[in-house]
Structure 1
């Protein structure tokens, strides 16, 4: 097996080392690599192959444990940023190191910073900063030296179940922090790049091509798809259209991959062959087919650089170059070895690419095609007519790629689509063979003769229009939703693919591959049940917002508020943050949904939740202050026919045999005639949940005024757990209120380093003086209070790192 797959040991060992290094934070020095390499050299003199294979694995594994050192070692730049206040703008000077990209929500680029000015002090440094520009077209290029003023921000994990680790993503790309400027006009160009710089010429060409496409195709939904197909810029595609391509299962066509590169290389070779073969001297003197084949190499490399050298594109070019060189040398090509070679080269050049989702999915999709198509075609691919064989091979390839990636896609995105099996029949020929080739021919004509470029782009644009129309239809078909795929499932899945690849056909091979999915199902069935006879109060870490999930002993659920963004970001908080977190917790329906008041940081995620998840009943205070979000929320409630309940002080509900909910505020007469933003806080729904001897008090954003009224009107407010009011504001949770509630535990929802300095020092001191155990989402992540009605404990399960001081 190892003789047939010589790259198997290096790739598996190297990838395993990188993964373990990232998982455990373990980084080995070069001395360790040198020591193992010495042993490996000695093993070459041993007659038996086992020591050589073992030490080869150990060498590449140790090398993998060292590979992430440049990315994982704290840099002086990171330390400098941590010492600067994130609320004070600083002047950043540096050189642009990535091609600026523009999307419908703004632009972004990476700056290699070499100096930071904070007031009068200037600090020389060395590091990368991701810059986001809210409005305006970016006119700077790679290599330009710029100056801008921005607040530096170090991304962090919220501490939510299943959240995307953006901080780790930036770290693996060598980026220490992010910054934002309001307009492109705020960027000062100090010195342009060298005019004859190759990078600048490439960027200018890509920029000109993009402008020409948009000029000839004014419809953004068409021009954005064309720029994605031809120069790899997907950022301008409208979100709704991009989602439709994803739901239709053909999003792969928008990212430049081996399919695009192969078509273009084949086209270049064939056109050159037609032209050169007419020259008699060349045709008689050279083997034209063999020589012209080499023209594909510069064409592929040039197109790779023009499109930005994305990991998936680079992998494709490496594989195609390998195939071309093998054909030129008249050697047989093994697809598995070629795939291993391209993957090994990629992660050797850039080890963090192992964690890039586009690299993973493209690698697995091609893996599935390699191990499936050839065996199937050998057994049942004998057709009398070539077009029937080609059609059948296309079907098998499409099915292999779709089924091979369904588990990884569910693991990464919690939803997958098999619609691509059908959509590929129409979209791939239309865009791949039609729009890509036509548009590619138009690109040089932009420099040579623009009228022809205009005609070619118009023709390609018509094909994109037809494609977009069909994509909307395919995108409306049902998707597969599942949120239970775990790391263990991925291990079993990759093991199954490996067995199919490495073992020779036998009964034992198929038995082993069948047992792995069974083992995964058994592990899932043996997991803990959601209804465990205990009360779970989970404060989700949703930044400077608030959302609390309550799971009752018998398994029913209640969600108190849905978080949200304080300011309009053109993104749906429910779709991006709230719904994925709930589904990762195993929550697929909400029995009772409570909105304490209509402020965006409490209600922003509710509309999406209502339209995407079954809701049994909606509770809200009767005297609610209604905002812009409220009307949309009511429309979704009416559309889904969700029953609504208006609550006032004195309402009491018995939920099951053991749970009682008592409403403490607002009273029926508490409304405000002329409401201001801050007044709505005093109308917040305040209630107490009673479970046996345990009581939990939820205070939403209520302040001193509401607290005083509750103490006046309510005889008993003593509680075990207090949800501290208004994110720990100094205008809530008074001394008198704490004396009456007398909680053992307090929980606070606040965003890390938020602009409001919440929770306030005064509130924290009040809690500390009384010895109340205080947990905060900005430091502890998601907080879970668990009780059996008599005893209780608090866990912070989704933030493994040490609590910050």
Structure 2
């Protein structure tokens, strides 16, 4: 009875209210939808329609109050302005997108030095430095030129130069050539070959000159997948260069700012001290206690948490953190800025205890004034990364609104910050980091009233230390879940994986904020002081070791979880844009329904449950818009809704009191909110409904764009699917299976694959299969008897072990039954074939048969070359097919007019990379196919190719 009395008195549900949007907020949302329409026009129209609908609904609700009533002309003008701002946004966004200086489909538009694929001398000024895991640094060069035969030519657009394994080559920097003039300036801030600055990385403002291949940025052009070409185009970057180690050490010149030099000196000093720490007695002792690998990785993460420097981070560890829902805590963002702000607030509260100061200025305003300089300093230390800068702009907006006594600081600050950023850079709306940051703040705004209400309902508000810890843990856990729910469609679309380990944040985030980050910043101060007083170096190393210890403990714990299989990625179905709209539309509709009806209906249902009233079922259905026989909630007078005036005025009820009195709502408003909620929920199931009522009766073939490699996805009318090869690169840090293959197979589909086939074990065909084999729902793996070598062999064995399936060897004469009228014939190699390498590739023919009639739909040939083709032709099997996947990516080594005669295709496709070093497809092959009138397509030119076979 005591518990019921607590529930009845507090009525936490009615305290969950949300502020209304101001008119300029609606205008701004229309502007954002217009900017989005610069690249995605149809989705932006749906967004505009949703904005207009929700605006009309909220205006209809507001008309219940006399002071909020608008005339018809006023409402029409506002709706018109929404549409005008939408189209202005489209125009501004379209104008802001930099034009490409070349056309991929017409390579002749590229400069001759690019087509020649020869290294040229490139000179440019660094405007941005980006560090990446696995020892890679990206330098964006602007105002670039290239030199050929002693003549200099400008480069249209900026260049991204990736320098991999730079650290191993850094000691050879002194051997780099000096400028031809031989002159060395000595003024402060100017680079000199023998100066200490030469030991540092190239910095923003420097001019670098190096010899490397200049290539266009193309990316992987697959449907509904992230494309690096668009990402770099938004930054005005159209060209790329790649160097490794000491293969092309740059010549450096030019002036740099004093602040840039100071920061890089700090980073260099800390990095050196961390390297020394690993070899000290303290470091060795901690490594032996916590584990060598976890401790070394923890030390390498310190520059990432202090400077945003991810150069020494192993990508394997970063992936592990992502699967544990902790990666956000290791990438400098608004969360770290919040930690700095809270630390400053705590320090200020301890230092300033005189009440007279707060008579001059309120405590929140004083904290705001103190936080901003500290936050600005931290943004500078963090290198001014885009995430930190955006978070700082938001913080400035919030503090400014607070200083001017504005209400709704959190939501208004978000809108003001986004307005400033999108006006300054309209294309920033396409930046995933901004999207995640903004949505996370929206999630917090939505969740805070829910969390406060849940705490009042579940946790007694006692002043004991244990209760405070419980409430703090409750806040972190529920907020992290709310953020994950709001971010769900965006994260699944981009990263394709779901993590269920949010509970780890309860322990990790307080540890990071209260212990690790303060220790790191203290270590940074001591490390900087050690430049003048070297005796302080051991103290700095000790502080860093203390900060690294809990990180190493976390890594050791995650390693144990990983080895036990608890961190295996959960692969999710990727939504289309309609599903994303449906998700957020459902959230907004639920909030509107709650404001109109839910916050009154839910307490009544709870009261009915506790009192045993027989009508709660009818009230539940009535609240859902399905009135049954019984009392209808909406027919009750709105003035009789539960209010704080009828409840006992306890501290809990006082805290959760409604900030506004209930507004009488019309029956139309109730039904509009219900229909909106129901409509958006049903919208999420449109693809499934469409598939159920109009199923595809043809086989779909997707030749994925995997660069210089091959990956084919077959989807059959019965819903079964087959993956043939997965592409792959020599780089072990870029997993094409995780980045391209799995996102492709989960486009509006689950991760099930009935068959995975490997035509042969070359890297450019097999490496993309490791990730789906290990983590997707795969029924069987089929390949030739050939076995991959080295690292590929080990990874394949690990993937098969994780999946629990065994390899099935295929040979000529085998058949895989797909359905009643579809089967896959294995035509090559024969069991007694003596061929090796490419010539032992699987040759597969998809056949449709009705009775005795058999029709070849597609012939898959792997990398078979001339010897294998000759053996295949001697077997006298039927090779005819509508579509031919050209052998060996269209190589001249697989040129065979006899094969083209035997297949007699209508279409031939070569899977190859843009401007690949092998010059695939061969002009000899393409010329012969054109002479025969056979249509040809290449993934290099067209990106992903999708065909319907019939």
Fold match (TM-score > 0.5): yes
State the shift of 1:15 in Å: 0.9
1:312 matched to 2:387? The reply is yes
Cα-Cα RMSD: 3.5
State the shift of 1:16 in Å: 1.3
Give the secondary-structure state (helix, strand or coil) at the position aligned to 1:309.
coil
Give the secondary-structure state (helix, strand or coil) at the position aligned to 2:39.
helix
State the shift of 1:12 in Å: 0.6
Trace 1:598-747 onto structure 2 (pairs within 5 A). Answer: 598-622=761-785, 624=786, 626-628=788-790, 629-630=792-793, 632-634=795-797, 636-637=799-800, 640-652=803-815, 655-672=818-835, 679-692=836-849, 693-695=854-856, 696-714=858-876, 716-747=878-909
Q: Distance in 1 between matches of 2:824 and 2:299?
A: 56
State the shift of 1:8 in Å: 0.6
Label 1:315 to 1:709 Cα distance change in 2 as closer, same or farther (>3 A).
Answer: closer
1:72 matched to 2:159? The reply is no
Give the secondary-structure state (helix, strand or coil) at the position aligned to 1:506.
helix
Q: Distance in 2 between matches of 1:630 and 1:276?
A: 64
Q: Distance in 2 between matches of 1:284 and 1:243?
A: 47
1:492 matched to 2:582? The reply is yes
State the shift of 1:310 in Å: 3.3
Q: Is the 8 Å Cα contact of residues 548 and 561 (structure 1) preserved in structure 2?
A: yes
- For residues 176-210 of structure 1, the C-alpha deviation after alignment (integer angstroms, 9 at most, x for no partner) is 2111112257233342424x533333343344444
Q: Distance in 2 between matches of 1:761 and 1:338?
A: 59
TM-score (norm 1): 0.85
Trace 1:354-753 onto structure 2 (pairs within 5 A). Answer: 354-378=429-453, 380-381=455-456, 383-386=460-463, 387=468, 389-420=471-502, 422-448=503-529, 450=536, 451-472=538-559, 476-477=566-567, 480-499=570-589, 504-507=595-598, 508=670, 511=674, 514-528=677-691, 532-565=696-729, 567-584=730-747, 586=749, 588-622=751-785, 624=786, 626-628=788-790, 629-630=792-793, 632-634=795-797, 636-637=799-800, 640-652=803-815, 655-672=818-835, 679-692=836-849, 693-695=854-856, 696-714=858-876, 716-753=878-915
Larger Rg: 2
Q: Distance in 1 between matches of 2:809 and 2:205?
A: 60
Give the secondary-structure state (helix, strand or coil) at the position aligned to 2:894.
coil
Q: Work out which of the residue numbers 260, 263, 267 in structure 1 matches 2:343.
A: 267
State the shift of 1:639 in Å: 6.0
Q: Is the 8 Å Cα contact of residues 163 and 243 (structure 2) preserved in structure 1?
A: yes
Label 1:649 to 1:258 Cα distance change in 2 as closer, same or farther (>3 A).
Answer: closer
Trace 1:164-203 onto structure 2 (pairs within 5 A). Answer: 164-183=226-245, 186-194=248-256, 196-203=257-264
Q: Distance in 2 between matches of 1:149 and 1:312?
A: 32
Partner of 2:643: none
Q: Is the 8 Å Cα contact of residues 431 and 467 (structure 1) preserved in structure 2?
A: no
1:228 matched to 2:304? The reply is yes
Partner of 2:53: none
State the shift of 1:19 in Å: 0.6
Structure 1: segments with no counterpart, 5+ residues = 27-45, 673-678, 793-805
Give the secondary-structure state (helix, strand or coil) at the position aligned to 2:834.
coil
Q: Is the 8 Å Cα contact of residues 401 and 409 (structure 2) preserved in structure 1?
A: no
TM-score (norm 2): 0.73
Q: Is the 8 Å Cα contact of residues 308 and 382 (structure 2) preserved in structure 1?
A: yes
Partner of 1:29: none
Q: Distance in 1 between matches of 2:20 and 2:771?
A: 55
Question: Which has the higher relative contact order, 1 or 2, with Cα contacts under 8 A spaced 6 or more apart?
Answer: 2
State the shift of 1:461 in Å: 1.7
Trace 1:114-125 onto structure 2 (pairs within 5 A). Answer: 114-125=144-155
Partner of 1:38: none
Partner of 2:606: none
Give the secondary-structure state (helix, strand or coil) at the position aligned to 1:604.
helix
Q: Is the 8 Å Cα contact of residues 2 and 8 (structure 1) preserved in structure 2?
A: no
Q: Work out which of the residue numbers 96, 109, 116 in structure 1 matches 2:139.
A: 109
State the shift of 1:373 in Å: 1.0
State the shift of 1:423 in Å: 1.1
Q: Work out which of the residue numbers 229, 242, 245 in structure 1 matches 2:321.
A: 245
1:20 matched to 2:20? The reply is no
1:766 matched to 2:856? The reply is no
Q: Distance in 2 between matches of 1:596 and 1:61?
A: 50
State the shift of 1:579 in Å: 2.2
Structure 2: segments with no counterpart, 5+ residues = 1-17, 44-70, 168-199, 284-294, 531-535, 599-669
Partner of 1:34: none
Q: Distance in 1 between matches of 2:24 and 2:375?
A: 24
Q: Distance in 2 between matches of 1:271 and 1:775?
A: 65
**Greater alpha carbon shift after TM alignment, 764-773 vs 100-109:** 100-109
Label 1:327 to 1:96 Cα distance change in 2 as closer, same or farther (>3 A).
Answer: same
Q: Distance in 2 between matches of 1:215 and 1:186?
A: 28
Q: Is the 8 Å Cα contact of residues 215 and 240 (structure 2) preserved in structure 1?
A: yes
Q: Distance in 1 between matches of 2:567 and 2:816?
A: 41
Q: Is the 8 Å Cα contact of residues 81 and 152 (structure 1) preserved in structure 2?
A: no
Q: Is the 8 Å Cα contact of residues 419 and 474 (structure 1) preserved in structure 2?
A: no
- For residues 679-727 of structure 1, the C-alpha deviation after alignment (integer angstroms, 9 at most, x for no partner) is 5122222243321242133322222223333333316433333222221
Partner of 2:114: 85
Equivalenced residue count is 758
Q: Distance in 2 between matches of 1:765 and 1:331?
A: 71
